[in-house]
Amino acid sequence: MRRLAKRAGIDKAISPHSLRHAAITAALDAGCSLRDVQDFARHADPRQTRRYDRARGALDRNPTYIVATYLAGATGAR
């Protein structure tokens, strides 16, 4: 994986798990059902798949970021 990533000009560390994580997250982002993604990922327990689902939008749902965005809009700051 490292050799292929280097040949592709990717400087970040790439592992089989990072590719798997990217594929699962992309499937969820594309609108695949949690159950279908669970089957795709071969997760025996749906809670494993839900970890990916919760993590992909964690910052968008984090109250700190929501309040900061609200305040930035209220004050005109960007």
What are 23-47's pLDDT values in tens digits? 888 898 888 999 999 999 999 999 9
Contact 2, 13 (CB under 8 A): yes
Mean pLDDT, the chain, as a whole number? 81
Average pLDDT of the residues in 47-71: 74
What tokens does 44 get? 């025996």
The percentage of the chain sitting over the pLDDT mark of 70, rounded to a whole number, equals 79
What tokens does 34 get? 């949690």
Q: What is the pTM of this model?
A: 0.61
**Cβ count within 10 A of residue 27:** 18
